[in-house]
Structure 1
Amino acid sequence: MKLTEKAKAYLSKIFSEEKGGLQENDPEFAERFYNFAFDEVVNQGDMDDKTRMLAILATLTGCQGTDAYRVMAKAALRVGVTPVEIKEVTYQAVAYLGIGRVLPFFAINNEILKEDGVSLPLEAQAKTTMETRLEAGIQAQVDIFGDGMKEFYKSGPEESRHINRWLADNCFGDYYTRKGLDYLQREMITFCFIAAQGGCEPQLVSHAQANMKIGNTREFLIQVISQCLPYIGYPRSLNALRCVNEAAKNLEEK
């Protein structure tokens, strides 16, 4: 393989060893992919490694990329993503992908963390109880989406109103209120979950707007899409870009 010096340097930084797999059995492909993903992409803009890895882990969870996730989760630990942060990405993914798609990532996390000498379970990160989760979840929704969310949990037809309540007490009260990641990080990974799974454009636009409202700018979201493109391909990346631009236009018109 003829790797660029920048690709070699980044591979050395995030991986403890390079042998077998693509390099050994598909060297022609590996040369182009590694030079693209680990030189062109990582050197597009100035995103720090930790943010990049959180976005990639969320994206790989969203697209069900278990094998690549296993590799990149180990790389994430090498560049400073903590075990708590890795776990928090997986926990929050359940609200957006469902346990049916996320359960395999629990097993992968536990395996690589034990291999890294981490004692499990980790220290508890919950800041709510079953009694306080609704109020805290409503506040999280308000903090991120605005005052219009104060009464959202009570809105909608009676037969489906419980789902809006679940969004408040479960999605936001159980997950967004936890320690380990802040609102900016949580909205970024939510954007990645939704973009990577595809088919949820209204929600992607909504969360792109939420990201921008709390400080993850349009330019930042474009960087996120760019860093995750090698892992989900061009169609979903271009779709995410369209949703970001639509969200930005919506905010300008308000």
Structure 2
Amino acid sequence: MMSERYRRGVDVVQHLSSGSLERFLKTSRIAEVAPDFARMVVEFAFGDLYSREALSYRDREIVAIASLASLGHASPQLRTHVEAAQKLGLSKSEIVEILMQIAIYSGLPASLNALADCHDLLAEGDCVACTSHS
């Protein structure tokens, strides 16, 4: 039986991701070795926190991108949240600005690594922030 928390989490993941919950879980690779932990992530992170009303999904993705980029070692999760942010309407130039902004607080290496980790997601099409200061 699926808990209400899990159902809310599934709904949020499906809204944010370009695929299904199964794709999300496969990308994170935790379900195959720790299915209970995967369930807890869906319930807590998405069913409890992301479903709160004080911040929009867009705002939550900005926080997620900045936080994950600042960690400097969360590339798969960072990419997932950059893709979700793009789906929610954040422009590539806004995401580049977020990743540049973290250099102030987390250092240039974290910022540069995050930009490199997401290069393919951000290089396609017009990226005003990428060319406006050339």
TM-score above 0.5: yes
For the pair 1:183 / 2:60, whether they are aligned, the reply is no
Aligned counterparts of 2:9 and 2:72: Cα–Cα separation in 1: 26
> By how many angstroms is 1:152 displaced?
5.7
1:131-177 deviation digits (Å, cap 9, x = unpaired): 52111110000000034226866x943x5111221121111001000
Aligned Cα root-mean-square deviation (Å): 2.4
For the pair 1:210 / 2:112, whether they are aligned, the reply is no
Aligned counterparts of 1:206 and 1:152: Cα–Cα separation in 2: 8
For the pair 1:148 / 2:5, whether they are aligned, the reply is no
Q: Equivalences for 1:73-222 in 2 at 5 Å? A: 131-149=3-21, 156-157=31-32, 159-222=33-96
Partner of 2:107 in structure 1? 233
Q: Contact 1:195/1:237 (CA < 8 Å) preserved in 2? A: yes
One-letter amino acid of the counterpart of residue 232, structure 1: S
Partner of 2:128 in structure 1? none
Aligned counterparts of 1:212 and 1:231: Cα–Cα separation in 2: 24
Aligned counterparts of 2:79 and 2:22: Cα–Cα separation in 1: 21
One-letter amino acid of the counterpart of residue 96, structure 2: I
Secondary structure of 1:179's aligned partner: coil
1:13-34 deviation digits (Å, cap 9, x = unpaired): xxxxxxxxxxxxxxxxxxxxxx
Taking structure 2 as the reference length, the TM-score comes to: 0.76
One-letter amino acid of the counterpart of residue 219, structure 1: S
Of all paired residues, the percent bearing the same amino acid is 26
> By how many angstroms is 1:179 displaced?
1.3
One-letter amino acid of the counterpart of residue 12, structure 2: A
Q: Contact 1:206/1:247 (CA < 8 Å) preserved in 2? A: no
> By how many angstroms is 1:228 displaced?
2.6
Of 104, 120, 126, 1:246 maps to: 120
Aligned counterparts of 2:113 and 2:24: Cα–Cα separation in 1: 28
| Count of matched residue pairs | 119
Q: 1:156 to 1:228 in 2, by over 3 A?
A: closer
Q: 1:234 to 1:136 in 2, by over 3 A?
A: same
Question: Structure 2, unaligned stretches of length 5 or more?
Answer: 125-134
1:215-245 deviation digits (Å, cap 9, x = unpaired): 1121111111223321111111111111232
* Rg comparison, structure with higher value: 1
Question: Structure 1, unaligned stretches of length 5 or more?
Answer: 1-130
Q: Contact 2:83/2:121 (CA < 8 Å) preserved in 1? A: yes
